[in-house]
Amino acid sequence: MNVQVIDVADLTVRYGAAVALDGVTLAVRAGEMVALIGPNGAGKSTLVNTLSGILRPTAGRVTVTGRLAHVPEGRQMFGTLSVDDNLRLGAWRRRDRSTARIYAILSDLAPLRKHRAGLLSGGQQQMVALGRALMSRPQVLIIDEMSLGLAPLVVAGLATHLRALNAEEGMAVLLIEQNARLALELCTRAYVLEAGRMVAHGSAAELASSPAVVAAYLGGAAEDGT
């Protein structure tokens, strides 16, 4: 499949005088899983927020084809609302607001449907944020910092869900991750963003064997397999 669901070309985004993205190019094709890695402050969330229309490009082109859903950094639950109500908010534009499909996919959420979202654990909240995004039946899903603050087992569970949604429904995924190892395992291609510039891109296998990527993101020789 060569249809692009995300096409970013020569994108520049400024906050006032500060340049957050400087001539960035990135593409995601239908059904692809693509990772975006990079250190704190690189501009990852700026790129994602521009894709979802929260920020405007200063220059360059951003094209999204098909329904896009965005799991924002920090999950952004409505803490006083129930899990079920948080999920429904993900479908505010749709006639069908049934949450049954989400509980079938993310079965750990089913017993929590009446719980207040703000009282859930971090992993459970990330599951709600994912479920809320899935309510719009997206063709492309962007997840900003999926694993942040979550235990390895919880992260593995989320990764399994993403793989299944990608394989079974052909949903494209753009995964923003500080955990480069996870990102390169889960995705077939990846981009590396540093200080607002795209410094590398390629297949996950190529990047995982690039000395610069290994040194900066995979713990270099100190690799311990965790």
Ligand X SMILES: Nc1ncnc2c1ncn2[C@@H]1O[C@H](COP(=O)(O)OP(=O)(O)OP(=O)(O)O)[C@@H](O)[C@H]1O
Residues that bind Mg ion (CB under 5 A): 44-45, 73
Encoded tokens for 216: 């900066």
Q: Round to whole Å and give the CA distance between 184 and 101.
A: 29
Pattern 17-36, ligand X, x by CB under 6 A: -x-x----------------
Residues 85-144 that bind ligand X (CB under 6 A): none
Closer by beta carbon to ligand X, 91 or else 174 = 174
**Residue 41: contacted member of ligand X, Mg ion, none (CB under 5 to 8 Å, by partner type):** ligand X
Q: Binding residue for ligand X (CB under 6 A) from 4, 6, 24, 44? A: 44
Which residue number places its CB atom closest to Mg ion? 45
- Report the Cα 208 to chain-centroid distance in Å: 19
**Looking up tokens 């970013």, which residue turns up?**
8
Closer by beta carbon to ligand X, 109 or else 141 = 141
Q: Of 40-48, 78-86, 105-113, 155-163, which part binds ligand X (CB under 6 A)?
A: 40-48
Q: Binding residue for ligand X (CB under 6 A) from 2, 17, 40, 114? A: 40
Closer by beta carbon to ligand X, 45 or else 139 = 45
Rounded least distance, CB 46 to Mg ion, Å: 8
Closer by beta carbon to ligand X, 38 or else 131 = 38
Rounded least distance, CB 49 to ligand X, Å: 7
Should residue 166 be labelled a site residue for ligand X when binding is judged by CB under 6 A? no
From residue 101, alpha-carbon distances to 16, 98, 110 in Å are: 43, 7, 10
Closer by beta carbon to Mg ion, 44 or else 201 = 44
- Using the 8-state DSSP alphabet, how is residue 176 labeled? E
Q: Binding residue for ligand X (CB under 6 A) from 38, 72, 90, 131? A: 38
Q: Round to whole Å and give the CA distance between 57 and 1.
A: 28
Pick the closest to residue 193 from 48, 24, 1, 15 (CA basis): 24
From residue 190, alpha-carbon distances to 88, 107, 183, 223 in Å are: 32, 30, 8, 20
From residue 68, alpha-carbon distances to 35, 135, 171, 196 in Å are: 16, 11, 10, 23
Show the CA angle centred on residue 37, arms to residues 168 and 130, nearest 5°: 40
Q: Which residues bind ligand X (CB under 6 A)?
A: 15, 18, 20, 38, 40-46, 73, 178
